Amino acid sequence: MRTIYYCFPDGRHKALTMSYDDGNIADRRLVEIFNTHGVKGTFHLNAGLLDTGDRVSSSEVKNLYTGHEVAAHAYTHPTLERCPSEQVVLQLMEDRKALERLVGYPVRGLSYPNGSHNRRIRDILPHVGIDYSRVVESTKSFSIPDDLYQWRPTCHHNHDLMPLARAFVNQSKPAYLILMYVWGHSFEFDRQNNWDLIEEFCEFIGGRPDIWYATNIEIVDYLDTLKRLKFSAAGDLVYNPSVAPAWISVDGEVMEIKGGSCISI
């Protein structure tokens, strides 16, 4: 029997994604560093706080975050567990609506403000158009999320970032799909005066042909494309019912399955 494995785009087995919360003006410097090194990420914004204090302005959101994902972080950053469910729905829908008016695409991601969630909050999310939500507890590993409404990152940027980055880059065993997921707030680099840390990280990990650099939602959508692949009982045919292409390997040989096609493998 042959071994059929799911792959990331172009047959890769590694992906990197970043996740930054709150939309502080320090995002401008962070996005520039990401763009310089081809690193991609998701920015979780509170639409009700844009244009106030040290937050980015609504007029710059579309251009600033081009090439990255804009996602929700609730309208005014409430601790969701303390909110009545009606308020949770409003906080999420109003955040989505305002952000979507700015960026021009459906906003489908979330990170929990103050890391606050419970079963009641999580159960609301599929009904308000949220497809994933990031928590703050780290795994210190490179696992693929099992529960997208409790998506645990690899690490906060202040916790073993470079040792984990080196372990990730050195991981050459293609037996697993691996994902490095880093989160934080850009204002922390100003407060702790450690911009050199994220610069060193992006310079080290960026521009590598064996890593897929993706936003959070690109990973969610690609995993969904993989999940929807239909294999024949004999394992000799695969049909991709999605529009997006998918990649698998068959005994180590990488194959692309274009959207809508059925191929022999």
| Residues lying near Zn ion in the complex (CB under 5 A) | 21-22, 113
What is the phi/psi pair of residue 144, to 5°?
Answer: -80, 135
Please state the closest distance from residue 72 (CB atom) to Zn ion, in A: 11
User: CB-wise, 16 or 49, nearer to Zn ion?
Assistant: 49
Please state the closest distance from residue 208 (CB atom) to Zn ion, in A: 30
How many residues does this entry show for the chain? 265
User: CB-wise, 21 or 131, nearer to Zn ion?
Assistant: 21
CB-based closest residue to Zn ion: 21
Element housing 163 (H / E):
helix 161-170
User: CB-wise, 22 or 27, nearer to Zn ion?
Assistant: 22
Please state the closest distance from residue 44 (CB atom) to Zn ion, in A: 7
**Is 30 in contact with 186 (CB distance < 8 Å)?**
yes
User: CB-wise, 74 or 180, nearer to Zn ion?
Assistant: 74
- Residue 82 is classified by DSSP as G
Please state the closest distance from residue 236 (CB atom) to Zn ion, in A: 49
Instruction: Tell me how far apart the alpha carbons of residues 141 and 155 are, in angstroms, rounded to a whole number.
Output: 8
Distances (CA, A) of 172 to 14, 178, 203: 9, 10, 20
